[in-house]
Structure 1
Amino acid sequence: MVDWINPFHIVLFLAIHSLSWLGVVHALLTKQDPRSALGWSATMLFLPLVGPLLYTLFGISRAQSAAQRMLHRIASHDPGYVHPPREPHRQHTIPPEAQLLEKLGHRLTARNLCGGNSITPLHNGNAAYPAMLQAIDEARHLVYLSTYIFSAGEVASSFCRALSRAAARGVDVRLLVDGFGGSFYSLRKPWAELARTPVQVARFLPLRLLPPRLCINLRNHRKVLVCDGVAFTGGMNISDAHVLRGSRNDVQDMHFRCTGPIARQLLRAFMLDWGFACGSYSPLPEMPIVEQGGGSHCRLILDGPDSDTDPLNDLIAGAISGARRSVRIMTPYFLPTSQLMTSLRSAAQRGLDVRVVLPARNNLPYVHWASFRLMPSLLRAGVRIWQQQPPFAHTKLLAVDGYYAQIGSANLDARSLHLNFELNMEVFDEHFHDLLAEHMDKAMQRGTEITLERLARRSLPVRLRDAACWLFSPYL
């Protein structure tokens, strides 16, 4: 008879289960969402070896402490670098009913609203890329570009050539590419070829085995281009897919050309990410003075695991909860937090016109399926939901009450609101709001409205599939 009670087996058993319990303790002490803590704890206890490994790869927010150390180090050199010196908080020329929302944004971000900006929508890469390339070619001082995806193709080649030309004429050119998005979506790495040029290239949290850095979930999803006094931001990556050519793989999106004081806020945001990626502080460069000529009052919202709060989630929920007439949302991925779900239902139940526009076809089908599980409770409350026709729409927009809008990189899902480094912009401007509302209205006119009756006709296997995906929505 084999003696299976071997001291080595006992030690191995205890070691494996000790890892599980260490992971459980870490999850209980660090996770803000009880569902996330419970889910990870159960996974580690029921899968003793695999669970801790998955938690190490996807569950631990290593970037939070590293980012906070970087911010503290920068602040010790220049306290005004992390947050600009506070000016007296004054009432801006925005509608009186917007004053409370303006104060909420100031409280959550510690940033002042700045007026005199011009924000121009650029539809798809067909309009955005030529404008961005022109700004790079016209720059004489600095060109700073940050993107999540820099995918090989004609568009990437055009940007590489423009960046190289700018660096060759003495412009300070820097490119920041996400360490995961910049590598995963393209076999060839066009940004790597810039290392042979004067262009400075940095990667944000690149994955590596030695020393280990496997924080797959913590990505820099922000999109920023600053060319002297002109800046661009929005949801668009550097990819051929954003240039609409009638292909099945086309991706709709919007980007925005920004001039005025907000351009300096975007410069500051880039430099914070650059310092974090490079591990060293450098002074904020001078930017050519830009005349104030627009009517938009703007403020940036920087969100990510370097923050102990959820400013973006809280501000979107506050904007919806404080709305008096209408709320329009367009997003590619719709897995809102419980706070946002409550705000949407409450707004509709108060009689507001609440509309959500989603893509009919999605590049992440499991997220698309999970969103169907959330829809019935919203529809019963009076929220109206549309699916817009292909190509896939990657656009992220929020428009409230005729005067308030948000644009930027964040989706309405747990990944954007809790894990990624995101950048959104508040815009108080009736004309700009109407431009976004008109864009969403046209998408609804061409799309299909989702109803409770339509959802009820979905087969049982399809509804079970949706529910199974929804069960994992905190991790999608």
Structure 2
Amino acid sequence: MIKIFDFISLKPSILLFLNIGLVFIIIFLGRHKSPKSTLMWAMVMTLIPIVGFILYLLLGQDYKKRKMFKLKEEEDYFLSSITNYQANFMESGKFLGNNEKTKEYYDLIRLNLNSDESFYTDDNKIDIFFQGKTKFESLLNDIDNAESSIDIQYYIFKSDLIGSELIRRLENKQAQGVKVRLLYDGVGGRFLKKHDLDKLKELGADVEIFFPNLIRRFNLRLNYRNHRKLVIIDNKIGYIGGFNVGDEYLGLDKNFGFWRDTHIRVEGSAVAGIKFRFLKDFNYASKKTDPRAESFSRPSKTAGNSGIQIITSGPDTKYENIKNMMFKMITSAKDRVVIQTPYFIPDDTILDAIKTASVSGVDVSIMIPKNPDHPFVLWASLSYLGEVIASGAKAYLYDEGFMHCKMLLVDEYLSTIGSANMDIRSFSLNFESNALIFDDDVNQKLYNQFLEDVKNSEELTLEKYESRNKLVKIKESFSRLLSPIL
């Protein structure tokens, strides 16, 4: 009979062989992934036996990705008639759009048409918001004036002052006969009190949760979060950008202070692109699969002359569409590249594009917040910033509060604003949406605001970066290893 102390003496070796077997399972499951990501998980398993495999199941597996792609793929045919027409129109040599400058970027438009079915429109009017106060004032006003429908989708939705006020306005409109649909993420909306939505539901509004929590405020599915922030009103007005729903976005959180973000309001045909994206997510969450119940018509009069493509990416897309768009933008730059992001953790493709642009003489500037919401993300970001600074780029640490905007502008015509951070998680793990804008006036307004932000920032020079102490270097090195999951 084996005594208890004999079993204990054998247990470490059993665990060792079990852990080795689990490492081989990770390697097999990751055979179609980036080798760096698989190697990172194998390292985690080696350093933290067994527990590392549990973390992999929470953060690294992708069985949901395969399932979701199959479900979403059945709906994607709906846009093909529009995008195929535009692609064929461009291939025939005809001019798409009213601005000659746009023709210089036909390859970028084609990329988005072919990979994401992102149709191009050029009859749009754009208003830009850099602060929560003006954004929410405009949004609430548009909600109050809604006549037929209000569709709202946010990653974070809280039951605080602005969240409660927004719900109250939605209740009023639903009671008036306006159709209201609300979608929020299971993790981002975990602090939204369930009873706060009871009246809205009783009035007839459709409320859905994307990947709901099995246990309240606790969700094991940390990947594949719906990070989009979209609003569509009467199919005529659309909102897209970086603001969520919470008092901190109004600068009312003392820990964050002033909140600097970027969001846009759109009128024109591009609103249909925002609506199609909302419908796919809402139909998935509500288990509906046919977006054709919604009808759209081109606006009777032109709202403006800004060109827009709505680009989306996530676990349900075949390609990393937003990353590919950004890569194409950066590699096309001739004069300047400006990036504002709360998290700067690019993959090798984007990092090489940025460094190549900088070495080529393009004026590259990158801004991140000096006071982060996640310390590991800051240390990893500093590590990557050190590389691009060494290539000749400029780096700034925003110090007026917290900077949350996700903005990339190239030269004097191209800009993109949306929900995607400049990081690996936004490129491949989260559901994101960005507006790609072809407009020199919008580009200039964004650049002017960037120059104002520089006044409230500290420049991180190569000399400052190289003088950091050993502890910071260790933190950077460790955090960079975790880049694929931050």
Once the two structures are superposed, the pairs formed by residues 312-331 of structure 1 within 5 Å of their partners are 312-331=322-341
- Report the counterpart of residue 243 of structure 1 in structure 2: 250
2:274 matches 1:272: no
Residue type at the aligned position of 1:23: I
Asked whether 1:224 is paired with 2:234, we answer no
Q: Distance in 1 between matches of 2:328 and 2:200?
A: 43
| Structure 1 position 174, deviation (Å) | 0.6
The CA distance in 2 between the partners of 1:298 and 1:395, in whole Å, is 19
| 2:390 counterpart letter in structure 1 | R
SS at match of 1:379: helix
Rounded to whole Å, the distance in 1 between the matches of 2:195 and 2:131 is 23
Cα distance in 2 between the residues matched to 1:217 and 1:145: 22
Please give the alpha-carbon distance, in whole angstroms, between the structure 1 residues aligned to 2:104 and 2:336: 13
Q: Equivalent residue for 2:209?
A: 203
RMSD: 2.7
Deviation at 1:182? 0.5
- Could you tell me which of 139, 154, 166 is aligned with 1:132? 139
AA of the residue aligned to 2:287: G
Does the 8 A contact of 2:153 with 2:229 survive in 1? yes
Matched ranges for 1:382-421 at <5 A: 382-421=392-431
Structure 2 portions without partners, runs of 5+: none
**Counterpart residue identity of residue 362, structure 1:** P
Query: Could you tell which deviates more after superposition, 42-51 or 188-197?
Result: 188-197
> Quick check: 44-53 or 339-348, which moved more?
44-53
Change (3 A) 1:45 1:368: closer
For residues 352 and 20 of structure 1, the distance between their equivalents in structure 2, rounded to whole angstroms, comes to 46
Which residue in 1 is equivalent to 2:268?
Answer: 260
For the residues of structure 2 that align with 1:94 and 1:385, how far apart are their CA atoms? 33
Quote the residue 1:308 is aligned against.
318
Separation in structure 2 between the aligned mates of residue 419 and residue 388 of structure 1, nearest angstrom? 26
Residues 353/240 of structure 1: CA separation in 2 closer, same or farther (3 Å cut)? same
> Corresponding residue for 1:355?
365
Letter of the aligned partner of 2:231 in structure 1?
A: L
Distance 1:19 1:135, change over 3 A: farther
Q: Which amino acid counterpart does residue 27 of structure 1 have in structure 2?
A: L
Q: Which residue number in structure 1 is paired with residue 470 of structure 2?
A: 460
- Measure, in 2, the Cα distance between the counterparts of 1:288 and 1:108: 24
Shift of 1:105: 3.1
Percent pairwise identity: 26
Q: Secondary structure at the match of 1:181?
A: coil
Deviates more, 1:109-118 or 1:137-146: 109-118
Change (3 A) 1:83 1:234: farther
User: Which stretch shifts more, 187-196 or 247-256?
Assistant: 187-196
Q: Which residue of 1 aligns with 2:44?
A: 43
Aligned to 2:390: 380
Partner SS, residue 309 of structure 1:
coil
> Following TM superposition, by how much is the alpha carbon of 1:63 offset from its aligned partner in structure 2, in angstroms?
3.0
Q: State the Cα deviation string for residues 132-178 of structure 1 (Å, max 9, x = none).
A: 11111211211100000001211001110111111111111110000
1:286 counterpart letter in structure 2: S
The answer (yes or no) to whether the contact 1:24–1:44 under 8 Å persists in 2 is no
Distance 1:13 1:457, change over 3 A: closer
Structure 2 residue 65 is matched with structure 1 residue 64: yes
Q: 1:247 and 1:50, CA in 2 relative to 1: closer, same or farther beyond 3 A? A: closer
Dislocated runs of 4+, deviation >6 Å: 8-12
Partner of 2:29: 27
More displaced 10-residue stretch of structure 1: 200-209 or 140-149: 200-209
Q: Does 1:448 align with 2:458?
A: yes
Give the match for residue 189 of structure 2: 182
What is the rounded CA distance, in whole Å, between the counterparts of 1:102 and 1:280 in structure 2?
A: 30
Match in the other structure for 1:158: 165
Q: Of residues 438, 446, 454 in structure 1, which corresponds to 2:448?
A: 438
CA distance in 2, matches of 1:385, 1:45: 36
Which residue identity does 1:327 align to in structure 2? V
Q: 1:336/1:438 Cα in 2 relative to 1: closer, same or farther (>3 Å)?
A: same
In 1, Cα distance between the equivalents of 2:223 and 2:424?
11
Q: 1:399 to 1:72 in 2, by over 3 A?
A: closer
Q: How many residues align?
A: 469
Q: Which amino acid aligns with 2:225?
A: R
Q: CA deviation at 1:118?
A: 0.8
1:96-144, Cα deviation, whole Å (9 max, x unpaired) = 4333333333333232211100111022220011111111121121110
1:28 to partner: Cα distance: 2.6
| Deviation at residue 22 of structure 1 after TM alignment | 6.5
What is the rounded CA distance, in whole Å, between the counterparts of 2:81 and 2:284 in structure 1?
Answer: 15
Given residue 277 of structure 2, which amino acid in structure 1 is its aligned partner?
Answer: A
Is this contact kept in 2: 1:61–1:215, CA < 8 A? Answer: no
* 1:417-440 deviations in Å (ceiling 9; x for gaps): 110000011000000100111111
- Letter of the structure 2 residue corresponding to residue 426 of structure 1: L
